[in-house]
Each structure stands twice: as structure tokens, then as C-alpha cells.
């Protein structure tokens, strides 16, 4: 698998976790007056899962993919958080 593909895969995993976290984020919901999320949420688990691609990339010694993933994470997180929630 090419470095590019591995990086994109890692980014996709983290992206999914960040979207999960964003949609259940209590402050975001409160500020935009969305209904309180009363179902169970697993923030710690989601955060861990978000960073696991990085650990895996380091473990399989894909250092350039790791650096790209880390840099992309800062952009992904921002683009996930920026749009205002749909009411």
C-alpha cells in the first residue's frame, strides 16, 4: 500500500471519530440549543480511537505517513468543528 493511501486511511479513521465527538459534544449542543444528548456517549474511547492511527503508523514505521496524518489532523479537526450544526 502506498504512503499516500495509508495516510488517507488514517485520516479517514480520525475524521470519523472527530465527527462522532463533534455531534455529541455537550457545549456545542448547548450553545446551539440542540436537544441534550441523553444516550450514552464514549468520549474517551472516541479520542483514543482518533489517535490510534498515529500509534499504528509509528508501529509499522511509516514515519512520513505519521507526520502527514498529524498535520492533516489539525486541519481535519478544524473543518469538522467549523460548520454550525443543522438544527
Partner 1 sequence: MIDVSKGTARRLVDIHGWSAAVLGLALYIVVFSGAIVVFSHEIGNWSVSGHKQGEGIAGNIDAKLISLAEQVDEDYLEEVTLFQNSAGELITFFHTHVNNDEGELEEKGTRFVLDPDSLEILSRDDGFREDMPIISSGFLERFYIDLHVRLHAPGVIGLYLTGILGLILFVSAVSGFILHRHLIKDVFLSPRLSTRLMNTRDRHALAGTWGLVFSILLAFTGAFFSFATTLGLPVIAITAFAGDQHLALETIIGIPEAEDDTPKNFVGLEAIITNSQQEDVAGSTPIFIAVQHWGRADSRVITTHGPTAEGSMFFTNHRYDGVTGEYLGEKPGLGNVPSTGSTVIGLIGVLHFGWFAGLLSRIIWLSLGLAMCYVTLTGLQLWVQRREKSDTWQSLSRFISVIGYGLPFSMVTAAVGFLFSYSSSEYDVENWTVTGFLLGVVLSFIVGFVYPVAEQREKLFQKITGLGFISLPIIRLLTSEQSWAEYSHAIAVMSMDISLFITGLILLVLSTGIMRAKRFNVKASVETSATEPAFEAKA
**Chain positions contacting partner 1, by CB under 8 A:** 2-4, 7-8, 21-22, 25, 27-28, 30-33, 63-65, 67-68, 70-72, 74-75, 77-78, 80-85
Q: Which of 53, 62, 47 is nearest to 11 (CA)?
A: 53
CB of 63 to partner 1, least distance (A): 7
Cβ neighbours of residue 72 closer than 8 Å, sequence gap 6 or more? 7, 11
CB of 60 to partner 1, least distance (A): 15
- Whichever of 40 and 74 has its CB closer to partner 1, that residue is 74
Classify residue 17 as exposed, middle or buried by CB count within 10 Å of its CB (0-12, 13-18, 19+). buried
Amino acid at each position: 500500500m502506498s504512503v499516500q493511501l495509508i495516510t488517507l486511511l488514517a485520516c479517514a479513521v480520525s475524521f470519523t471519530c472527530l465527527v462522532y465527538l463533534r455531534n455529541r459534544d455537550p457545549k456545542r449542543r448547548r450553545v446551539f440549543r440542540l436537544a441534550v444528548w441523553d444516550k450514552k456517549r464514549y468520549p474517551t474511547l472516541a479520542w483514543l480511537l482518533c489517535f490510534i492511527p498515529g500509534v499504528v503508523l509509528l508501529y509499522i514505521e511509516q514515519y512520513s505517513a505519521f507526520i502527514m496524518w498529524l498535520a492533516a489532523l489539525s486541519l481535519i479537526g478544524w473543518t469538522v468543528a467549523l460548520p454550525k450544526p443543522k438544527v
